[in-house]
Structure 1
Amino acid sequence: MSIATVDIAPLAKVAEPAPVLLTVEEAARSLRIGRTTCFSLIRTGELESLTIGGLRRVPADAPAAYLARRRAEQHAA
């Protein structure tokens, strides 16, 4: 009687697509600021966001756009 060998190599992981929307917490983490500060930026309109159902989401490109505006403002001053 022989024992069959089984290849137990890990399955190839499928790369997940980059997120289109971020939670407020994820946006805050990417900006290295607190959640409350992030909500303040959203409330003042400095950081773009949208509501889907009852959920607040930040477009994935919004934190970079916010930083670009801030950098342009500081270089202009």
Structure 2
Amino acid sequence: EAYAKALRGRTSDHPVALPHPDVTSQDPLSKGLGLMERMAEGFALAMDDDFNSREAIAKVLGGVREATRLLD
């Protein structure tokens, strides 16, 4: 629904702004963006820590679990 609303309001001159990423939001798009941002930050930190690929993959899988729960 959020994507359909964004597409209806979209024009080539005035792109629709995405909502602020917020994992505590009731808006599914805002919450999803917040989860993606959190996962990406965790992934980057793990990779910066001596290429900690095990922790980085754990962050990605945690993000997938959260996204799946959000979609259900």
Calculate the TM-score normalised by the size of structure 2. 0.29
Question: Which has a greater percent of strand?
Answer: 1
Calculate the TM-score normalised by the size of structure 1. 0.28
Max Rg structure? 1
Question: Which has a greater percent of helix?
Answer: 2
